[in-house]
Amino acid sequence: MTIVEIEIHKVVEGYHPRKGLQGNEELRKQIQKNGLTDPIRVRPEGDHFVVIDGIRRLQVAKDLGWTSVPCIVEKIDERTAAHQSYLHNSEACRRNLNPIEVSLHIKEMRERFGYSVRDLVNLGYATDDQTIYNKLALLSLPEEIQKQIAEGTINPTEGYRLAAVKDPGLQKKAAEIVLASKDRSVRKTEKIIKTLIASVNRPEDEKAVSGPSHEGDIPGVFFHDSGDMHEFEDGTIPLIIVSPSYGVGMEYEEGVSFEQHIADLKRCVPEWGRKLMQGGHLCINFGDIHNFGSKNGTEPEIQLMGQVFQDLLRPLNIRLRDIVIWDKGLPWTTNPQVIAYIDTPHTEYRLLNSFEYIYIFKKDGKRGLPLDSALKSTITKNEWKEWISGIWKIRTVPSQKDHPAQFPEELPRRLIKMFSCEGDIVVDTALGSGTTIKVARELNRKGYGYERDLRYKPVIIKKLGIPEENLKQKDKKTGGDSTKEERSDAVGQVIAELLPQIAAESKGRGERIRGISFNRKPRLTKEDFIVDAVPLASPRPSALAEAA
Ligand SMILES: C[S@@+](CC[C@H](N)C(=O)[O-])C[C@H]1O[C@@H](n2cnc3c(N)ncnc32)[C@H](O)[C@@H]1O
């Protein structure tokens, strides 16, 4: 390679991928002191020479009044020179080009010098076509974001993700959030952008999610049956978590037959589904009925329950998306189902009923995510690792004296964290002791619940830590402050009034009543009674029908 002195007026600037090319003071001092140790690369064009690499050196030499400069002459065309110039300035050489300059250069290479994307990959501009397109996409970003990428405050990978958003307003908003984020991983950026897009695509009617039309005397708690959730408009609840009655004879479902239990679910579950918003989740915790045989006087038999929920929800476009097995880790010694090994006749072993299900249903459609709270509401990597398996080992509540079937707090905590955002409404439609509301509020959600058995009012008050003075006006009609005796008197009075009417109506239809149950609620009406009636000709008349 020969170095030749060329008259300086014959050396002219050509295409250069680097945009900010003002000579700098440091370079000037070096050249003054040592001369030009690194000759300028030029290519001949007509009677002059075009710089391939060395524009700043040329500028300094001109400033210093030089009449000639040392050059290396390369006999290449403009197209090849453009690439050479890039190579001299690329990361491998001097790390001179910022990502936006690289993108601009790639654009020139394609549009001005006719290189195809494939040519550029072959020349080493990227390892694949997509990366070339990504680099080009940076140029579609608003100028201020391009500046931040050029300066290095936003990295090119974040830039690629931002470019995918298309809308400049959103790109700016996303850039702000990315810059403010502590976690600058690619995944985090992707999540920010996905959330942002979801928040923008939020349907108008979902933006103003209506809360309940009124509050109960304990704020957020409605003491009536959740078969009627008139306090909420249809399609407005993002997350319902519920452990409905089990149909196994707990204290709050005494005397309820299997048929009545199913009738109860048929009445309530669709109402829950109607209240759920599009893209909202309904998480139902339940178990199969293990004492089905003993309740019905047959050999031991388990009644499966999951299908009941699926059949009731599918017509509402609410689909079963995931199943969690809740491993309750029961200590086997306290379980009456298990007889000691030594006492068990061979082949008669029974297994422990030590798990329940959580069916996670989702209503079709996409829910809009409120951007800021959605970004704040993510779960951690460790939580994700533990929860993803679908088998959740969570110990039951050790003492169940206030309510016989309380959730361990960890159970609603996981569901709330996974399927709602801060500020969301979370409803438990069979509230029991109030665990879901407690946890929801701790996680900055708006917790609401329905409980039809007033026995549990004190435990709810206790669990939610509501001071007496904060309880709203006590309402006698809802049984708000009635004692257990007063409540059963009131219920007894209604039953005494309504039963003869119900019996007479059945008789009029040629039916005989075998049994009657009712859904516990403060204000009973005739519709709350579930009548098990058969044609008059059937054997075994019930005492009740005879009395009527
Ligand atoms: C399995 S327990 C739920 C316990 C609750 N998860 C907790 O942590 O305490 C079911 C509770 O819901 C109530 N319940 C059942 N069905 C109901 C309904 N349709 N409406 C309102 N309350 C209901 C029962 O009275 C009972 O207290």
- Distance (Å, whole) CA 480 – CA 474: 6
Average pLDDT, the chain: 81
Residue 176 makes CB contacts below 8 A (sequence gap 6+) with none
500-520 tens-digit pLDDT: 677 777 777 777 665 556 655
Q: Is the pLDDT of residue 157 over 70?
A: yes
- The better pLDDT of the pair 185, 209 is held by 185
- Distance (Å, whole) CA 234 – CA 273: 9
Q: Supply the pLDDT for residue 311.
A: 97
Say if ligand 1 is within 6 A of residue 226 CB. Answer: yes
Say if ligand 1 is within 6 A of residue 223 CB. Answer: no
Supply φ then ψ for residue 323, to 5 degrees: -125, 125
Helices (H) and strands (E) in the chain, counts: 21, 15
Q: How far is the CA of 6 from the centre of ligand 1 (A)?
A: 93
Q: Supply the pLDDT for residue 350.
A: 79
Highest mean pLDDT among 119-133, 160-174, 183-197, 212-226 belongs to 119-133
Contact criterion met (CB below 8 Å) for 371 and 196: yes
Predicted confidence band at 278 (pLDDT cuts at 50, 70, 90)?
A: very high
Q: Does domain 1-97 have CATH number 3.40.50.12280?
A: no
- The better pLDDT of the pair 208, 443 is held by 443
Say if ligand 1 is within 6 A of residue 405 CB. Answer: yes
Q: Is the pLDDT of residue 531 over 50?
A: yes
CA dihedral (176, 180, 185, 191) in degrees, to 10, reads -60
Say if ligand 1 is within 6 A of residue 245 CB. Answer: yes
Q: How far is the CA of 253 from the centre of ligand 1 (A)?
A: 10
As a whole number, mean pLDDT of residues 357-361 equals: 98
Least confident segment among 149-158, 276-285, 313-322: 149-158
Contact criterion met (CB below 8 Å) for 332 and 352: yes
How does DSSP classify residue 367? P
- Distance (Å, whole) CA 451 – CA 225: 6
For Cα atoms 206, 222, 272, give the angle at the middle one, nearest 5 degrees. Answer: 50
Helix (H, G, I), strand (E, B) or coil at 242: strand
190-238 tens-digit pLDDT: 777 777 776 665 554 444 566 777 776 788 999 999 999 999 999 999 9
- Distance (Å, whole) CA 289 – CA 301: 8
CATH for 233-447, options being 3.40.120.10, 2.60.260.20, 1.10.10.60, 3.40.50.150: 3.40.50.150
Least confident segment among 5-9, 21-25, 272-276: 21-25
Say if ligand 1 is within 6 A of residue 285 CB. Answer: no
Ligand 1 atom at minimum distance from 456 CA: 27
- The better pLDDT of the pair 410, 510 is held by 410
Highest mean pLDDT among 10-19, 62-71, 310-319, 475-484 belongs to 310-319
Place of tokens 């009456």: 336
% of the chain exceeding 70 in pLDDT: 79
Predicted confidence band at 475 (pLDDT cuts at 50, 70, 90)?
A: very low
Supply φ then ψ for residue 273, to 5 degrees: -65, -40
- The better pLDDT of the pair 220, 290 is held by 220
Q: How far is the CA of 537 from the centre of ligand 1 (A)?
A: 38
| Residue spans per domain, the chain | 1-97, 233-447, 486-547
Tokens of 114: 């006719």
Helix (H, G, I), strand (E, B) or coil at 480: coil
**Nearest protein CA to atom 5 of ligand 1, as residue:** 432
- Distance (Å, whole) CA 369 – CA 281: 13
Q: Is the pLDDT of residue 482 over 60?
A: no
Q: Supply the pLDDT for residue 538.
A: 45
Q: Supply the pLDDT for residue 332.
A: 55
- The better pLDDT of the pair 451, 332 is held by 451
Tokens of 341: 């090994």
Say if ligand 1 is within 6 A of residue 287 CB. Answer: no
304-335 tens-digit pLDDT: 999 999 999 999 999 999 999 999 886 655 55
**Nearest protein CA to atom 17 of ligand 1, as residue:** 430
- The better pLDDT of the pair 516, 453 is held by 453
Q: Supply the pLDDT for residue 201.
A: 58
Q: How far is the CA of 449 from the centre of ligand 1 (A)?
A: 9
Helix (H, G, I), strand (E, B) or coil at 350: coil
Residue 435: closest CA among 447, 446, 420, 452: 447
Say if ligand 1 is within 6 A of residue 519 CB. Answer: no
Pocket test for ligand 1, best of 245, 261, 394 (most atoms within 8 A of CB): 245
- The better pLDDT of the pair 128, 23 is held by 128
Tokens of 460: 């709810």
Q: Supply the pLDDT for residue 272.
A: 97
DSSP string, 131-180: HHHHHHHGGGS-HHHHHHHHHTSS-HHHHHHHHTT--HHHHHHHHHHHHH
Say if ligand 1 is within 6 A of residue 456 CB. Answer: yes
**Nearest protein CA to atom 27 of ligand 1, as residue:** 432
Helix (H, G, I), strand (E, B) or coil at 186: helix
Predicted confidence band at 271 (pLDDT cuts at 50, 70, 90)?
A: very high
Q: How far is the CA of 403 from the centre of ligand 1 (A)?
A: 10
Q: Supply the pLDDT for residue 349.
A: 80
Residue 113, burial from CB neighbour count under 10 angstroms (0-12, 13-18, 19+) = middle
Place of tokens 């038999």: 301
